Structure 1
Amino acid sequence: MIRFKGRSSIRQYMPMKPIKRGYKVWVRADSSGYMCEFQIYTGKVDHAPEKKLGERVVIDLSRNLVGKNHKIYFENFFNSVELQRQLINNKIYSCGTLRKGRKHCPEFKSDKDMKRGEADWHISKDGLVALKWVDRRSILMLGNHNDPLF
């Protein structure tokens, strides 16, 4: 989020963020933090929320990486099983945290059955790895280039 207090039709308001008002910018950066590509979020189209916004942003920002065997990492807003399958088909390897209620997310052991430091994982036939790890709270990860047994 880039702070902006003036008037603009693309200014966003996010009450839970440290910078509450400004321009929302999606960025693809390299491992040193250098910005490679960016996209400014211009808001909803026709006042309807865009479905799969996170997936679209990742696909748009990774177009130049198709077929180059790069690895990308992102947070749970963007990650989904469908996105991981699209990326592996494009020879882009990725990993990220995952929200619990995502579509096609595998069933894991309940938090009550797991102790701190324990992990549960699932490997799909197409090579996706879903992992649940418990620390103070449970963390879900989903990737297409990881091996939990290694």
Structure 2
Amino acid sequence: MKVYLGKDRTRASQDVTATHATVRDLCRRIEGVGHKLYMDNFFSSLDLFDELMTKNITCCGTVRPNRKGLPDDFRRRQFRLKKGDIRVRVRQNLTALVWKDKRDVYMLTNMHSPPAEGSFCDEHGNAIKPAIVANYNKHMGYVDKADTMANIYSICGRTWKWTNKLFFHLLDLTILNSYILLSSCGAKLSHREFRLALVRNMLEHAGRAPPRPQRPRGRTPAVSSGSFRIEESKQEHWSTSSTSKLRCRVCSTPGKRRTVRIKCVKCDVGLCISGCFQDFHTKPTFR
């Protein structure tokens, strides 16, 4: 697969369109095996079909009538068809046809024999579907059905980030592919039942997981390298105002003289409230 990120001018050349180059690159690993490739009109072109045919890859798909190389009556839409009419143009092994049902359907193929021209309706007047159209609907229907099944229970919601949408889309496809593989083994289970069983199994597995350690809430407390004398003695050392002036025990140690009106209730010594109170109770120098 390749993620489409808009018009890719770097991959296109003068003779090859970007869609042509994309399909060619995606088919490199299946060259020469004999695969059959179905595509819609966004990718199909005569040049692409011819190139893949040389690599033993046959193609079938709807085509836009204005594609380069198609007959002029196709490109100009000159047909005035009634319901059930078929017009066919053949070039070597490549067949282009237009079939009228509710609207004109343009097809291009090199894996089918060209059908007969004419008007084909049943007894009720309904257009009979050509084998090429029926075969295309059958195989492209797998893609349409897969998209429908994946979107019914889509995990992805509306999001501004395309990467989130891509991730959940791939997860949806993974679950769908798992269901298809299980059904191919004979399991009688609906898509809805499969998804419910998947959710139950995931919840059961998550319930057996060991409990995660609970992260502490709030601000992490500051850790000091020294042991606090307050914690060691488990005494109540609180600051309070003094009725008389006291010399700060910490400031006076180096020979300074500083008077304060704050003291420790337990130690009964004068201390500056900014810094000195903590230093006196935590540093062994002042013990």
**Which residue number corresponds to residue 95 of structure 2?**
129
1:59 counterpart SS class: helix
1:119-139: CA deviation from partner (whole Å, max 9, x where unpaired): 1111102x1011111111111
Whole-Å separation in 2 of the counterparts to 1:85 and 1:124: 11
Flag the structure with higher strand content.
1
* Structure 1 residue 44, shift from structure 2 partner: 4.3
Q: Who is 2:111 aligned against? A: 145
CA distance in 2, matches of 1:65, 1:102: 26
In the alignment, what sits opposite 2:24? 59
TM-score, normalised on structure 2?
0.36
Task: Give, in angstroms, the shift of residue 111 of structure 1.
Answer: 3.4
1:118 pairs, out of 85, 94, 102, with 85
Give the number of the structure whose residues are more often helix, by fraction. Answer: 2
2:3 aligned residue: 40
Moved over 6 A (4+): none
Query: Do the aligned residues in 1 keep the contact of 2:36 with 2:58 (CA within 8 Å)?
Result: yes
Distance of 1:49 and 1:82 partners within structure 2: 16
User: How far apart are residue 143 of structure 1 and its match?
Assistant: 1.2
1:1-150 superposed matches below 5 A: 38-44=1-7, 50=12, 52-106=17-71, 107-108=73-74, 110-112=78-80, 114-125=81-92, 127-149=93-115
CA distance in 1, matches of 2:51, 2:103: 29
Structure 1 stretches of 5 or more lacking a match?
1-37
CA 1:45–1:53 in structure 2 vs 1: closer, same or farther (change >3 Å)? closer
CA distance in 1, matches of 2:24, 2:11: 18
- The share of aligned pairs that are identical, in percent, is 35
Q: Residues 87 and 115 of structure 1: is their aligned pair in 2 closer, same or farther, counting only changes over 3 Å?
A: same
Length, aligned pairs only: 110
Give the structure, 1 or 2, with the largest relative contact order (CA under 8 Å, sep 6 or more).
1
- TM-score of the superposition, structure 1-length normalised? 0.66
CA distance in 2 between counterparts of 1:61 and 1:70 reads 13
CA distance in 1, matches of 2:8, 2:23: 19
Question: Deviation at 1:79?
Answer: 0.5
Q: Check whether the contact 1:44–1:50 (CA below 8 A) recurs between aligned residues.
A: no
Q: Describe the shift of the 1:65–1:124 C-alpha distance in structure 2 as closer, same or farther (beyond 3 A).
A: same
Does the residue aligned with 1:104 lie in a helix, a strand or coil? coil
